[in-house]
Amino acid sequence: MQFKRVVITGLGTINPLGHSIEEYFANLINGVSGAGPITRFDSALFKTHFACEVKNYDASRFGFDRKEERKMDLFSQFALIATSQAVEDAAFDFSKERMERIGVIWGTGIGGIDTLFQETRGYVEAGGNPRFSPFLIPKMIPDIAPGLISMKYGFRGINFATVSACASSTHAMGDAFTYIRLGKADVIVTGGSEAGITMPSVGGFNSSQALSTRNDDFLRASRPFDRTRDGFVMGEGGSALIFEEYGHAVARGAKIYAEVAGFGMSADAYHMTASHPEGLGAILSMRMALDEAGIHPKDIDYLNVHGTSTPVGDPAELKAVMDLFGDFAYKLNISSTKSMTGHLLGAAGALEALACVCAMQRGTIPPTINFEHEDPEIDYKLNLTLNKAQERKVSVAMSNNFGFGGHNATIILKAI
């Protein structure tokens, strides 16, 4: 069969670097850190006292009245805000669209975890009196975000959520790409959102020694590829991309940001939380994406790596890159934008796909900030775009995301 082409025609985001695409792109290129003291709860008794929160968030500023706000977990609010921006950016005339051909595929790692925690804590503090909110279940389930998006706009096509830890929104984009390629939809709103800066999330990741505890130097705590890295920094927010069949986009005169060229996914089959030390799953995922796109490794200009700033994960991913790309790895620009945004867990992939679009649109590679000390396990002949953005024409970009459980996902975007 003849596969359809898929392009990106709308963008939206709310994240630790900004409340809009423009603000996000500007801070990304300028190497701004989104880290700050945790305000969402009292972290005094926790090992980590900082995170990359969405700054100055007020639900009413985004059109949510008090009643709506009480019915939605924060991760769903972020999803609706990002989608609203992307839909507006795409400039649809919905009176001319077949709404059954527009879908939503959304990624989140832990969904409404704060809703579950607050309701459970209320139950315990009430001495076991089972007076739960009727909104407990619909607020916490991961699939409520795409459901709410469909209800807001009347999208009646494909609709579901993907949950694969930190690979969730990359899997969501991969599914959206695949369904449009197969002709099952004209348009799919895709992306991801997360609101995981909560007591159980921070406490749980602290217990597994995954989070940085650099409390006295939080702006520089996320430091991928640096010898003194000690874990990732939690982030939050949402990002939306409009994936659209190429002919459909051209027919309605849509502006096109990039083409989605390929997608790959694999499993490490190795460990509950650690990446395979030889990067075997990452290699499979990247190779699958390259094969599907019909692109040679030498054609990649920019690789946005998973790069979480963990002692084990960073060298393993770079080893996979070198094993797959060979000498071409030294011609790539590589960066980890998590050094600025923190790690948005299930929403990371969508935010980092936007970083790839930023690199294409601005001819500038976002930096990996906070680098100071060389690690003997890392080859610094690789261009890791350390500390400062670099100008470069980007025709093809690749983005990796890996999740607990050994999930790997890779997406490739190219200029059009």
- Out of 166, 171, 356, 358, pick the active-site residue: 166
Contact predicate 276/194, CB 8 Å: no
Query: 162, 121, 117, 170: which is closest to 139 by C-alpha?
Result: 117
d(CA 266, CA 408): 5
Give the active site residue among 19, 171, 248, 306: 306
User: For this structure, is 52 an active site residue?
Assistant: no
Q: Which residues pair with 388 in a beta bridge?
A: none
Q: Which of 231, 264, 260 is nearest to 246 (CA)?
A: 260
Q: Are 253 and 238 in contact (CB under 8 A)?
A: no
Q: 216, 339, 126, 99: which is closest to 348 by C-alpha?
A: 339
- Verify whether residue 276 is a known catalytic residue: no
With contact defined as beta carbons under 8 Å apart, do 403 and 167 qualify? yes
Task: Please tell me the distance from the alpha carbon of residue 406 to that of residue 227, in angstroms, as a whole number.
Answer: 24
Q: Which one of the listed residues 248, 276, 343, 407 is annotated catalytic?
A: 343
Cβ–Cβ < 8 Å for 340, 34: yes
Of residues 233, 223, 213, 251, the one with CA closest to residue 97: 251
Contact (CB, 8 A) for 206 and 45: no
Give the distance between the most distant pair of CA atoms in the chain.
64
Q: Is 78 left (phi over 0), alpha (psi -120 to 50) or beta?
A: alpha
Which residues have a catalytic role annotated? 166, 306, 343
